[in-house]
């Protein structure tokens, strides 16, 4: 929803809705779906509102009309009956706080409003024919980006799974000759050689910029150890049409067996710096609803050109891991939506580029970057900051219990904590 915070206006008499500065009735922007004209109120300080018609039918489509309350003639009614609901924390407020709310971006309801994720996009809508994609959205251009770093056969499999989506392969200074194999065997794929390992964030940023230079409306990122299932392009187009305010489209990520869930939505609580287990992780695939989520998964996501121009790309100082969380939080802070697309399915090995389950590299970067991202998006006083760091470290140390190299895993977590505390980001020295 525009501005990150929306408001719901209930039980407003039609006579009040007609009290506007302009006597002209304008179309609500919904064509033949709404034959009832609405009047525009020139009171922008009241912020965006949803309009409720006299018969009680709620129009959730644009434009959301600001209704000017009758301050002088109906002051008692305005104070006790004229109420709005903050869609961020479900707190009800009277009209006289609307201007303050519009300035702050929230209702000021304390911790509940500050911690709850914003609801920034309207619900998806289907046309009369049941198809949720407009003609222009259905033909939007998507270009895939695959980052390769000594990927070997995995990278080729990922690139071969993308058609009909055009593909760009970004090589991060591979030493196994896999870049040359891609150049020979996949001539339709544009190959970009960075010449050095720029990390996940730096590498994919190169590919995203190139995709937008080629006229892409959306850049689709796919890990080189993942394979896209058929129908992914159409699923992304439908989701983009259903959520015009979407900045990120998060695909459903399954393990290699194609049945067990690896990602079907996730949240991130920056206050404690820990997101917990992802939705449905390790369970059967029972997620088939298009919905808003707190953060996307970098294994498979799409970013729009408009969102990239407004918010930016991945933070290259993070190098690898948690950069998808940071980008998701920045999208939501800018009033854009992160949407889970259940029909866009990929199968993912997981951590192949960092050595798989036996590696400790992922533990180092995940610990360090989780602390850095939490402190970036939710600053706390010194004492509470130390508590949050302790929670992050404890959560990662708990995962070391079942690690094949337990001692090395513990040392990696502690090294990530020390570097985060010292502000040392980028590639690990």
350 φ/ψ sector (left φ>0, alpha ψ -120 to 50, else beta): left
Q: What CA–CA distance (Å, rounded) separates 335 from 205?
A: 22
In the block, residue with structure tokens 């009033």? 335
pLDDT band at 237 (very low <50, low <70, confident <90, very high): very high
Architecture of domain 135-348 in CATH? Alpha-Beta Complex (3.90)
pLDDT digits 0-9 by tens, 96-153? 444 444 444 445 544 444 444 444 444 444 433 334 444 444 578 999 999 999 998 9
pLDDT digits 0-9 by tens, 391-414? 999 999 999 999 999 999 999 999
Half-sphere exposure (CA, 13 Å, Cβ side) for 399? 21
Query: What pLDDT sits at residue 26?
Result: 35
Residues 225, 150: contact at Cβ < 8 Å? no
The residue with greater pLDDT, 12 or 173, is 173
The full set of domain ranges for the chain reads 2-115, 135-348, 356-422
Q: What CA–CA distance (Å, rounded) separates 142 from 306?
A: 13
Upstream peptide bond of 28 is cis (omega within 30 degrees of 0): no
pLDDT digits 0-9 by tens, 172-181? 999 999 999 9
């Amino acid at each position: 929803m525009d501005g990150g915070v929306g408001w719901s206006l209930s039980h407003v008499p039609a006579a009040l809705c007609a009290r506007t500065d302009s006597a002209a009735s304008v179309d609500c922007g919904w064509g033949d779906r709404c034959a009832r004209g609405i009047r525009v109120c020139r009171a922008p300080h009241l912020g965006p509102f949803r309009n409720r018609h006299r018969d009680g039918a709620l129009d959730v489509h644009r434009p959301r009309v600001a209704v000017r309350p009758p301050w002088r003639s109906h002051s008692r009614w305005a104070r006790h009956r004229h109420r709005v609901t903050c869609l961020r924390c479900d707190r009800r407020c009277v009209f006289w706080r609307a201007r303050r709310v519009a300035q702050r971006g929230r209702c000021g309801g304390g911790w509940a409003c500050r911690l709850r994720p914003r609801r920034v996009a309207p619900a998806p809508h289907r046309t009369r024919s049941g198809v949720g994609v407009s003609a222009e959205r259905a033909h939007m251009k998507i270009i895939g980006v695959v980052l390769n770093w000594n990927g070997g056969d995995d990278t080729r499999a990922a690139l071969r799974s993308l058609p009909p989506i055009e593909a760009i392969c970004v090589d991060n200074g591979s030493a196994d000759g896999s870049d040359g194999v891609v150049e020979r065997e996949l001539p339709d794929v544009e190959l970009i050689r960075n010449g050095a390992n720029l990390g996940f964030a730096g590498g994919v940023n190169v590919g995203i910029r190139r995709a937008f230079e080629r006229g892409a409306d959306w850049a689709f990122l796919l890990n080189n150890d993942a394979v896209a299932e058929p129908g992914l392009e159409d699923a992304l187009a439908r989701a983009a049409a259903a959520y015009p305010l979407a900045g990120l489209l998060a695909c459903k990520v399954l393990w290699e067996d194609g049945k067990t869930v690896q990602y079907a939505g996730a949240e991130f609580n920056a206050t404690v710096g820990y997101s917990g287990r992802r939705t449905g992780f390790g369970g059967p695939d029972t997620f088939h609803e298009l919905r808003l989520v707190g953060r996307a998964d970098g294994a498979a996501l799409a970013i729009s050109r408009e969102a990239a121009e407004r918010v930016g790309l991945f933070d290259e100082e993070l190098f690898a891991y948690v950069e998808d969380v940071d980008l998701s939080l920045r999208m939501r802070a800018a009033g854009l939506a992160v949407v889970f697309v259940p029909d866009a399915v990929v199968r993912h090995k997981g951590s192949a580029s960092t050595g798989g389950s036996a590696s400790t590299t992922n533990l180092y970067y995940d610990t360090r970057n989780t602390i850095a991202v939490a402190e970036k998006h939710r600053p706390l006083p010194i004492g509470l900051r130390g508590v949050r760091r302790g929670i992050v470290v404890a959560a990662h140390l708990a995962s070391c219990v079942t690690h094949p190299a337990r001692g090395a895993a513990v040392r990696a977590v502690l090294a990530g904590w020390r570097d985060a505390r010292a502000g040392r980001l980028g590639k690990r020295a």
